[in-house]
Amino acid sequence: MAKGTFYTFALTFIAGASLSGAMSSVFAQDLNPVGVIRTVEPELLAAPWTLRQCIDYAMENSLQVLSQQINKETADISLEQAKGQMLPTLNFSSGINAGLPGKTVGTNFGLNSGYSLYQGSRLRNAVRQQTLEGEAAGYDLEQTKIDLEISVAQAYLQVMYCMEQLQIARDGEQLSRTQYERGEALMKAGSLTKGAVAQLKSEYASSTYQVVSAENALSTAKLQLKQLLELGMAENFDIIYPDIADDVTYAAIPDLEEIYGTALEDLPGMKSSRLAVESSELAVEIAKGAYLPSLSVSASASTSAQLGENYGTRLAQGRNEGIGLNLSVPIFNGKQVRSNVAKAKLQNRASELQYSSTEKQLLNTLETLRNDALSARQKFLAATEQREASEKSYEIVQGQFERGAVTAVDLLNEKNNYIAALSQQLQAKYQAVLAIKVLGRYMNEPIEL
């Protein structure tokens, strides 16, 4: 069973044109389980996708989810196999023996049955252990789905962020173009030098470059989301861009103790880790069971006869039946049982340490995530004030530039400060939204926009 897979997930926030950390390590997997490139029905791509559509599609088509489903089915089969060990056995055998040429031909038939009466509780404990393994596999499957939901939401928000960043870049380009055209008009009127106009033109070219970079960032973000969804070579994939109100960043953030307690109790990955400890404890009991005697009962019925006249009569006369009670008491087995018990105890201790490590990783993840949420909220508040101040300052300097009171350099500085303030506010907003949404997922709340 998986141990701590979810808690090593690196929660990274949108901090520029592309994702870093966990999402940068997501590689495209365009092959379906039989090795054929996955194709998507055209009607599915005819309209933009919502976040919920992306998540649902990923749940049904992710190779990771499909692999975990196989693990769960394998665990269920292992459980049935363990239960089967507690049932009686029944086997039929037959044979025919032919002698040298001219000799007679003999036949034999037999039924053999056996049933284990006592095996030091090893069979019963094996069933209990496989039951735990099956439950753990189910929790691992659910944890994989949660991991995938977070990854899809992160990639989806990255696309939304890049789209808004592109709009800021386009607005900046429009401002630069307007300034450049106004500068040319002022130069013709004799109010502005050629050097100042050249600076305005250079800034316009730089803004155009920023638009191209933002467009590339958006294409990359869409590609990462498409690859995460296993959409193969689909090219016309796009998403719906819902409006995220600023007040989302003001949503209540629960105390760390509340988040940790809920996640520790309800998160499938933690449940799987606890079952791993219980399973290892049963492994110790199974190993100790080899110290105890075993008792089984067996029964057999057989007959044999030579082919020829009165074959049926001779077959009935050759019938032989028997029943036996078999007791096996271990006395010395080359320290095999003792070694197996010692190794099982060590594995149990390793499982306990793994669970403690998983608890610590969970706490560290939640503590960092909550701190990032609070920090992003404060950054958003500060960035909002900075954006408002920069906007007013830019409007003032723009008027002064029209009157010739400030230089083109002063105007460009204020314009760049305003664009930077917009970008910082946007970045802080999406950082806060992502952190709050992921924290909510730890509190059993599905991620919705």
Distance CA 162, CA 156 (A): 10
Dig out the tokens for 62 from the structure.
């992710």
* pLDDT score, position 17: 40
How would you label 291-302 residue by residue, b for 16+ Cβ within 10 Å and e otherwise?
ebebebeeebeb
* pLDDT score, position 204: 87
The 10s digit of each residue's pLDDT in 315-336 is 888 889 999 999 999 888 888 9
Tell if the pTM clears 0.85, that is, is over it.
Answer: no
Is it the case that residue 246 has pLDDT exceeding 70?
Answer: yes
Q: Which domains does the chain have, with CATH numbers?
A: 8-84+131-172+186-192+216-292+335-442 (1.20.1600.10), 88-118+293-329 (2.20.200.10)
In residues, how long is the chain?
449
pLDDT band at residue 46 under the 50/70/90 scheme: low
DSSP 24: G
The 10s digit of each residue's pLDDT in 270-281 is 999 999 999 999
* pLDDT score, position 338: 92
Distance CA 39, CA 32 (A): 9
* pLDDT score, position 39: 56
Dihedral sign of CA atoms 385, 387, 388, 390 in order: positive
The 10s digit of each residue's pLDDT in 104-134 is 788 889 999 999 998 888 999 999 999 999 9
Distance CA 312, CA 419 (A): 102
The 10s digit of each residue's pLDDT in 183-213 is 888 888 877 788 888 988 898 898 899 999 9
